[in-house]
Amino acid sequence: MPQVERTGASIHYEVYGAGPALVLAHGAGGNRISWWQQVPHFARRYRVIALDHRGFGASRCEPDAFRPSHFPGDLAAVLDAEGVSRAALVCQSMGGWTGLPFAMRHPSRVACLVLCCTPGGLWNDAVAAAVRATPERIAAAKIDHTPALGTTFARKSPEMRHLYGQIGSLNQASLGWLGRLFEPEARIAPAALAGYRVPTLVIAGSDDLLFPPEMMRAVARDIPGADFSLFEGAGHSTYFEMPARFNDVVGDFVARYLPGAGAPA
């Protein structure tokens, strides 16, 4: 498995397929393995790069070096190592802190961006209110499973619920990732997106307990030109809970800006 060395971390990733590059950036509940329902699908048309964020999966990280501010540089190092000048980015939850800042800093390297149940570091009134209310929202739901999965899915699919937990157990413990995502240095003010032109799709799950749909709609409104797609009945992990629809929606969007191998330009 390829690896790049970064500040306080080693970043592992895997590459599948051939054609234009499509990057999969996972959330805090997973790692590159989380995309097992996406990699075979997209590798038919794209060169899929699935990375492990620092401290997740096979990537190691010194505790003091776990900062979202390092994420865009980690991605740049992976793309440089693979000789990729331009890619589509598909980012789940924590992965949005990789994708949106990277797109802002390197727009010419991003064909399009998909933000799946993530504000990507964007900090507006709706995000601030939703983050403050997260503990109460989860408590009111009275769930006995990770809030990263929708209640309907978790109850109907105990095997998949178990698999989700097993994948997450492969990550490095005690990084304090949640709090660091919302520190001031990781926040993007809406005004900073003035002039933003990267085609962006924002996906939300109607039953998401972590980043609820009304918050995600506000995120989409603050990203110039962003499209919005709501997955009815899905929780926070739309890619895991509704993979067929996710692959179709994301695939159609990406194909508009990055035709795959064998596809008409």
Please write the tens of the pLDDT for every residue from 143-183: 999 999 999 999 999 999 999 999 999 998 766 777 889 99
**How many folded domains does the chain comprise?**
1
Could you tell me which of 225, 224, 227, 221 has the C-alpha nearest to residue 194? 224
Could you tell me the CATH number of the domain that includes residue 204?
A: 3.40.50.1820
Residue 264 maps to a domain: no
Q: What pLDDT shows up at residue 68?
A: 94
Q: What pLDDT shows up at residue 1?
A: 76
Q: What pLDDT shows up at residue 265?
A: 47
Helices and strands (H, E) in the chain, number of each type: 11, 9
Residue 47 maps to a domain: yes
Residue 263 maps to a domain: no
Interatomic CA distance for residues 142 and 123, integer angstroms: 28
Total-model pTM:
0.96
Residue 265 maps to a domain: no
- Enter the tokens of residue 69: 């501010």
Residue 76 maps to a domain: yes
Residue 154 maps to a domain: yes
Q: What pLDDT shows up at residue 106?
A: 98
Model confidence over 68-81: pLDDT tens digits?
A: 999 999 999 999 99
Find the domain containing 186 and state its range.
3-257
Query: Which residues in the chain come in under a pLDDT of 70?
Result: 174-175, 262-265
Q: Name 23's bridge partners.
A: 49, 89
Residue 142 maps to a domain: yes
Q: What pLDDT shows up at residue 4?
A: 98
Residue 262 maps to a domain: no
Q: Name 24's bridge partners.
A: 50, 90
